[in-house]
Amino acid sequence: MKSPVIAWRNIWRNKRRTLITAASVFFGVIFAAVMSSMQEGSYSKMIDNVVKFYSGYLQVQQEDYWENKTINNTFVLSDSLSGAIARIPGVTATAPRLESFALASSDELTKGAVVIGIDPEAEHRVTNLERWIIRGRYLHPGDSGILMGDELASYLHVDVGDTLVLLGMGYHGVSAAGKYPVAGIFRYPMPQFNRQFIYLDLKQAQELYWAPHRITSLVVMVRDHYQMPAARQALDTLIHPPLRVMSWDEMQPELVQLIASDRLGGKIFKAILYVIIAFGILGTVIMMFAERRRELAVMIAIGTQKRLLAWILFLEIVFIALLGVITGLAGSVAVNTWFYHHPIRVAGEAAKAFTDMGIEPVYAFSLMPSVFYNQVITVFILVMLVSLYPMIKTACLKVPQALRG
């Protein structure tokens, strides 16, 4: 009879022990996969909050702009360069912006604001800005109105249809001043945007700041942040000084550091979980060997090779681990798929804590392949390590003592 058949039959000689051990692997794989999925989903959501609400995955800028954000560090985007960027594989949308600062005034109230000139159609493809309008309407190309955050509008006591005055400094030091009707009020899940941002049509912004045809950045979107490195590499071949390319992680180093520290904490927790799984399997293996010590000695005494017995014991451990891993993998795929399509919404004080940190109040999940295959690989490494115990003990088994015991 072949060794795998013998090993398979042996593990069912004690069904309870086999099922309990397989169940420990099953729940370990599910917990680790769900935890990894929630982590990666949360990271993706945090990145999406940054790139889809404001920065984009990549930006083309004048090389001095990020360190010195003045309207003097702007550039003229040629049609040929814009077309070449749009044709890069993986690029889904691009949007030009002219961004500067101004004092927003209404009657006797004044507050500093970030003024962003946009192409309404292109900006909607990048940030889905129209979705966040809560009053009024979205901008159309050539529109003379503005969009502003609800907290900024509340502070200045203005609403849809009221007029807002913008005062600032334009290109090369000229004065910038204009009166604009409020076309719409938006509310982002990120409070700092609602307190500071004003959007107006790109041509209107260029006229306000006396910067015809000039922009501060071209925002470039890709399908997701996993596609970003390839798009960045292609973009670097097109962009030359005095322009440069910046990615979201270069523009948001604090977020990168937060994700790295949180991922480290997750690895420590999963390491503890895997240690528990390993000791669960090891306990089963020790009991298995202790119960069959005399049986193994008899088989060796009648001529069975120790090497063959060690191989059979190894296969028994592998079969038990496979039972747990396969069922755990199937269970984790089902659970994570459900939560991927039905993310957990946060409400109450917890939701407020999320929004105060600039994060959309939702626990998102990921279906990245690594979320699943990493658990399988890790468990099998543990199985390989645990399987050394019966193999070594069988090789060192003293038959006379085992028979007397």
Model pLDDT for residues 241-283, shown as the tens digit of each residue = 899 999 888 888 887 887 888 788 888 888 888 888 788 778 8
Number of CB atoms found within 10 A of residue 291's CB: 12
Total count of residues recorded for the chain: 405
**For position 354, what pLDDT does the model report?**
67
Cα–Cα distance, 356 to 141 (Å, whole number): 33
pLDDT-based confidence at 45, cuts 50/70/90? confident
Provide the Cα torsion 207, 83, 140, 152; round to 10°. Answer: -70
156: its two tokens: 């200045």
Query: pLDDT digit string (tens) for 213-236?
Result: 999 999 999 887 778 888 899 999
Q: Of 148 and 353, which is predicted with more confidence? A: 148
Tell me: pLDDT of 381 over 80.
yes
Provide the Cα torsion 140, 146, 149, 155; round to 10°. Answer: -160
Query: pLDDT digit string (tens) for 326-341?
Result: 898 899 999 989 988 8
**For position 295, what pLDDT does the model report?**
79
Tell me: pLDDT of 57 over 70.
yes
Cα–Cα distance, 312 to 301 (Å, whole number): 17
Query: pLDDT digit string (tens) for 73-130?
Result: 999 988 888 889 988 988 999 999 999 999 999 888 899 999 999 999 999 988 888 8
pLDDT-based confidence at 181, cuts 50/70/90? very high
Cα–Cα distance, 376 to 22 (Å, whole number): 13
Strands 146-149 and 197-201: antiparallel
Share of the chain above pLDDT 90, in %: 30
Nearest to 140 by CA among 207, 206, 203: 203
Tell me: pLDDT of 349 over 80.
no
Nearest to 237 by CA among 87, 364, 340, 113: 87
Please tell me the pTM assigned to this model.
0.71
Tell me: pLDDT of 61 over 60.
yes
Cα–Cα distance, 269 to 266 (Å, whole number): 5
**For position 355, what pLDDT does the model report?**
65
Specify the amino acid at residue 127. Answer: T
Query: pLDDT digit string (tens) for 120-176?
Result: 999 998 888 888 899 999 999 889 999 999 999 999 999 999 999 999 999 988 889
CA angle 360, 364, 366 (to 5 degrees): 140
Unique residue bearing structure tokens 């468990």: 379
Mean per-residue pLDDT, 296-311: 80
Cα–Cα distance, 206 to 201 (Å, whole number): 9
Tell me: pLDDT of 300 over 90.
no
